Structure 1
């Protein structure tokens, strides 16, 4: 297995006043490996099928205190650790299970079974981990533990809270908790919003009440026809994934979301989401169409950044500029969309985003369509499959 750390810096056009900005591939892999307790443990995992190297693909990313945390979803069997921190050992970048190997044990419901996404509050070090409870999807889907939200304090190495989602919120064999944002009020956690790509619903977690509930709306469904066809590597990849990407406006007034099988971007007021039984149908607004389908997205303090999957690029919606041109913040539409970075070879399927505290946007790239279609080549002589990029955008996290 070859793991390579990119040492070269490259310049890409980022439309921050039409100037060149610093951009780099920080890590790139043909295949990922882990920091094992010893070689015997690794060989035993390989022997019993607990580590199948071609079933491990990096997806989610968050940054805290210069550490890079990533998820390896258990889409398939053979993923030894679903939540990790990137470390360097003998000149190579590998994954250290986080917070420990024991917390990755399949079948132990006190451990993390399946992590797709997470969020980290930069002011507290609280990590909000979605555990959809799913062992594997493709081989086939198997729920071994109930879905839960784990709030973990990185600084004290302690679990703050575990919320088990009730069946009515996250039904077994149906739910797929995908992405998360955290809403703070007066500097303290109040709500978490989570997309459920399995039931095409939005899950709301009320931190103060330790309670969860859901909202459903037609805007959260997948579309058919052209919006469901993603141009990928000179072919078309069909998807029927509904609500997926999610972001919170920096003033916390609005929640943005989109389906993977759709070009449209929607928003709903967070004031409405705070009312458990509220009818949101009159509050949802279609902001317009993005330039391409999107998986992950993230809000900075001035712009909404998203992966343009069909264009091998990262784009941003400058909502600060569009708000200034609109009659009011309530009338803003998705108008000013500009390319931040584009690379047809090394940005195939921009997946997940994060900010650091220095103005850099980080994101993962993983050729997910190739992985799901079983066409990914993990050999060291093939092109790289997974990347972690960072690019200077002069913005910081909504948190």
Structure 2
């Protein structure tokens, strides 16, 4: 096959697997719903919208939650948007759960949200890596009860270092069992998987040898459920049986699955066993049907991106994949919120609606 024909064939494969995204919102620049009070002018004066980078996403009901990279001048780390609006203008970012919970260097507030997930009971789980002298925590908010703080778990020193330069919590997934809700968390500075039990309000470590683990995803609620892992230093995809994560101090059997085209920084499962991945500095995002042999397929691609992490995504219970995109067209930088029907729910929310 000639190089030209090969290129046409590969393009055809990409187009065949592309999702039909529609644009929900588009921003030339972001703004916040600013608080009233004495510190409003300082927050606004120091704010630089060029430093707004979207990192993690979760969707529940009519709200979409986003964590932001805490670059200079960013006044809030965790925000929310409505999933739809009546105004032609894109919505402003609203702090979650309030401005009072966004105070930096105040350890009773959210310092650095590094992963967010929603469970079927309407709880928002926020992995907080802390900053400065503030230790890492796991926050659980009840979205069905006025966003109240249901629990704050501070990780013990034997589980996560109290020194900020000796830890790097990065991502979180949730696992619901018959009698518990568990969270699995990766720490780039160790080979351990951090496990948290909501029933016991306890966290512990399980060794996962061989990795500077950085990103993770949990397969749907089926027999032999697997935790999928990515290293920071490579494109290799690995898996661990979740049954091996229940034993405190245990050693998990890490299995190599295959190699992505590049290093993913974000992965996500839907209820139909599709694994989605976004890659550092790449203008495309891919997927793999885990029920079949490893085969990466691109489902979205842009011409020019403008971010180290150009995309982030989440699923809703109506069978839609939401995705943010930061790109550059004709020298103009834009953020987009996109939406596509995939016919499957988030990995914790049951069987697909049809695919």
Which of residues 321, 337, 346 is equivalent to 2:296? 337
Say whether residues 1:183 and 2:175 are aligned partners: yes
Say whether residues 1:78 and 2:73 are aligned partners: yes
Which of residues 91, 94, 99 is equivalent to 1:93? 91
8 A contact 1:265–1:286 mirrored in 2:
yes
SS of residue matched to 1:112 = coil
- Deviates most, 189-198 or 266-275: 189-198
Deviation (angstroms), 1:125: 0.9
Question: What is the TM-score normalised by the length of structure 2?
Answer: 0.83
8 A contact 2:216–2:227 mirrored in 1:
yes
Deviations 1:73-109 (A, max 9, x none): 32x3322111111256772321000111111111322
- Deviates most, 384-393 or 79-88: 384-393
Deviation (angstroms), 1:124: 1.3
Aligned to 1:124: 121
8 A contact 1:35–1:96 mirrored in 2:
yes
Question: What is the TM-score normalised by the length of structure 1?
Answer: 0.75
Give the alignment of 1:36-51 within 5 angstroms. 36-38=34-36, 41-47=39-45, 49=46, 51=47
Aligned to 1:319: 290
Q: Are the structure 2 counterparts of residues 91 and 365 from structure 1 closer, same or farther at C-alpha, using a change threshold of 3 Å?
A: closer
| Number of corresponding residues | 328
Which ranges in structure 2 are unaligned for 5 or more consecutive residues?
1-10, 349-355
Structure 1 vs Structure 2 CA RMSD = 2.8
For 2:19 and 2:283, the matched residues in 1 are separated by 19
Which ranges in structure 1 are unaligned for 5 or more consecutive residues?
1-11, 135-142, 222-242, 323-334, 368-376
SS of residue matched to 2:291 = helix
Deviation (angstroms), 1:321: 3.0
Deviations 1:9-31 (A, max 9, x none): xxx98979x47753123333343
8 A contact 2:191–2:210 mirrored in 1:
no
Deviation (angstroms), 1:177: 1.5
For 2:305 and 2:37, the matched residues in 1 are separated by 32
